[in-house]
Amino acid sequence: MSDRIAIFRPGDYRAAPNTMAEPYVEQANRQLEAALDRLGRKHFRVEGFITRPDEARAKLRIIDDPMIGLYTHWVYAPHTVDGLIGKSNPLLMASNFSGRFPGLVGLLNTGASLQAEGRQHSRMWTDAEGWAADHRILERLEEWLRTGKLVTDDRAVRPAPAPSAPAQARAAVVHQAMAVNMPLLLMLGDTSMGMTNGYFGARTLHKVGFLEHKVDQAWIIDYGLRVSEARINDAFAFVQDRGVSFHWGAAGAEDFTPAATREQLRDYLAVLDLAREFKADCIGWQYQLGMIHRRPPSDFAEGLFNSTCRPEGDGDTIVDATEADQGNALPMEMMKRLLKAKGLHQSVAFHDVRWGLAHEGRFVWVLLNSGSAGAYAFNHDPQSLAGVHSHRQPAQYFPTPGGSFAGESLPGPITWARAWLDNGEPVMDIGRGEVVRLPKAQLEAVWRGTTPEWPIMIADLRLSRDGLMQHYMSNHIAVAYGDIFEEMAALSELMGFRVRWLEDAAS
C-alpha cells in the first residue's frame, strides 16, 4: 500500500447541515490525522466538503492512493460513490458514533450504496473523543494500512432459518396472492438525498414480484389543487378528533400553524387520489429535495398512510416508504400481508438506524425517522391517533413549515427486515427483537440529543453495535410488532431474495 493516505470529507448537498457540523467534522479530521501520525503514515486532505456528484468525480477520481472517507454527519452516498466506482484503491470509511451528528447513518447508507455495485470497502467507527487514544481504532487502522482491508467478525450473519410448517404455509398463501396480483409500488419521484442503495429499478423489482409506476412529484401540486376545502376540513377534524396533539406556534416554530397542517392534509389527499387512480398497493414518496421549497414536509401525511386510523380510510394502511426507499417499501408490504395473515395488526413502521446505547445489560438501538411510523406504535389502538405529536419539522432541513408525526413507541416483540442489493443480487435481511422503554429522564435526554421532533423507538434488535455496523446494509429499517420472523424468511425466499438472518451469536 502507498505511504500516502488521502482523507476526504463527503457532505450534504445543503449548506446548512455542513456548516452546522463543520466544527465537529474538523475535530474528527484532526483526530484521524493524529492517529495516522501515531502510526507513522503520511496523509493529505482533499480540501472542502464534497457536496455534489461532480465534485466527487473531480476530486476523487484523480487519486490512486488509499483513501479514508470521514463520516461524521449526514452525507449523500453519491458524494463518495460517484468518485470511486470503477476504481480499486483501498477505501476505508471512518465514522463517529453519535446521535446528534449521525455519521454512522451516512456510513451505513454509503456502504450499502457501494455494496450494491460491488465496490470493495471497509468500515471503522468510534465514539471516543480522542481517536489516537482509542486502542481498538488504532489496531483496526493499522490492520487496514497493512492489508488494505479489515477482517470482519461474521458470527452475527446466519443463513435463513428453517420455518415451521404453519409459517411456511402462511407464507405460501401470501406468496400465491402476490404472484397472481403483483403488488404495485407507486413511486413519487426516485431516490431522495443520495440514497441510491434504496432504488432497485423495475427489472430487479420484477424479479422479486413487484411492479412500479413512477409519477413525477409535480403531480402532487396539480392534484392538490383539485382537493376541495370540504375534504380538507373533514380530514382536519378527523385528525383532531382521533387524538393528534399539534404543537402549533411553539417557541422558535411560530410559522407552524393550523394552515400548515391543512396543507399537509391537502398533500395526503392528493396522494391518496393518485394511489386510488393507479390502484397502487404501496407508495414510495421522495419529497426531498425537490419539494422542500414548494410544499410542506410529507411526513405527517406519510404517518397517516402507515396508520389504519386515517382520513378517508378503509380500515387498511397504505404502506408508505419515505424518501422513496424501495429497500423498505418491499419488506413493509410483505410484512403487512404476513401480519394480516397471522391475525396481527398490519401497521409497519419505517425508521432510521440513528444511534445506540447500553441499557440494563444489553445494547439497544435508537430508531428515529422524520415521521413514517404509524400511530399504532404509539398507542396499540388501531382506531386511534392518540399519542401522535406533530411538531414543526426542523427549519434547517425543512424550510417550508409543516409538522412531524411523532411519538414514543410502546414496548413489545418485533420482527424487522431490510431489502438491499449485493452487487445487483436482491437480499433480504431479517431479524427479531423487542421494543423497550427507557426511564423517562434517560429517554428525554436521548431524544433531545438526536431530533426531538421525530418519532422514536428504542429497540433491542439482537445485534450489538459492532454486529450491526459491520454488516447492516442501510440507514433504514422496517419494523413490525409481532412475531412473523419465520414467515418473513419463507416469503422472502419464495419471492427470490437471498435471506440473511442477523443476530448476535450470544442471543
CATH number at residue 457: 3.20.14.10
* Nearest-5° Cα angle at 303, 298 to 307: 145
Tally Cβ neighbours within 10 Å of residue 121. Answer: 19
Q: Are residues 179 and 140 in the same domain?
A: no
Q: Is 194 domain-assigned?
A: yes
455/433 Cα distance (integer angstroms): 18
Q: Are residues 202 and 273 in the same domain?
A: yes
Contact 486, 167 (CB under 8 A): yes
Contact 145, 39 (CB under 8 A): yes
* Angle, helices 165-180/485-494, rounded to nearest 10 degrees: 50
Q: Which pLDDT band holds residue 1 (cuts at 50, 70, 90)? A: low
Mean of the pLDDT values across residues 98-106?
A: 87
Q: Are residues 481 and 432 in the same domain?
A: yes
State the pLDDT at residue 208. 98
Dihedral of the alpha carbons of 280, 281, 283, 284, in degrees to the nearest 10: -100
172/8 Cα distance (integer angstroms): 48
Q: Are residues 306 and 188 in the same domain?
A: yes
Q: Which amino acid is at 408?
A: E
CA-based R_g, the chain, Å: 22
pLDDT in tens, 154-194: 999 999 999 999 999 999 999 999 999 999 999 999 888 88
Q: What's this model's pTM, rounded to 2 decimal places?
A: 0.96
Domain end, chosen from 147, 174, 204, is at: 147
Contact 388, 240 (CB under 8 A): no
pLDDT in tens, 62-95: 999 999 999 999 899 999 999 999 999 999 999 9
Q: Is the pLDDT of residue 506 over 70?
A: no
- Which residue from 231, 240, 179, 169 is spatially nearest to 210, judged by alpha carbons? 179
pLDDT in tens, 369-422: 988 899 999 999 999 999 999 999 999 889 999 999 999 999 999 999 999 999
pLDDT in tens, 327-375: 999 999 999 999 999 999 999 999 999 999 999 999 999 999 988 899 9
Where does residue 286 fall: left (phi above 0), alpha (psi -120 to 50 degrees), or beta otherwise? alpha
Q: Is the pLDDT of residue 134 over 90?
A: no
Q: Are residues 399 and 274 in the same domain?
A: yes
Contact 93, 69 (CB under 8 A): yes
Give me the percent of the chain exceeding a pLDDT of 90: 89
State the pLDDT at residue 365. 97
Q: Are residues 164 and 82 in the same domain?
A: no
Cell 380530514 maps to which residue? 235
Give the three cell numbers for residue 346. Answer: 398490519
State the pLDDT at residue 129. 76
Q: Are residues 249 and 361 in the same domain?
A: yes
State the pLDDT at residue 507. 55
Q: Are residues 417 and 365 in the same domain?
A: yes
Q: Is 507 domain-assigned?
A: no
Q: Which pLDDT band holds residue 2 (cuts at 50, 70, 90)? A: confident
Q: Are residues 455 and 497 in the same domain?
A: yes
Q: Are residues 392 and 435 in the same domain?
A: yes
- The average confidence (pLDDT) of the chain is 95
Q: Is the pLDDT of residue 132 over 80?
A: no
Q: Is 153 domain-assigned?
A: no
Q: Is 152 domain-assigned?
A: no
216/283 Cα distance (integer angstroms): 13
Strand partners, 50: 10
The domain in which residue 194 lies consists of 159-502
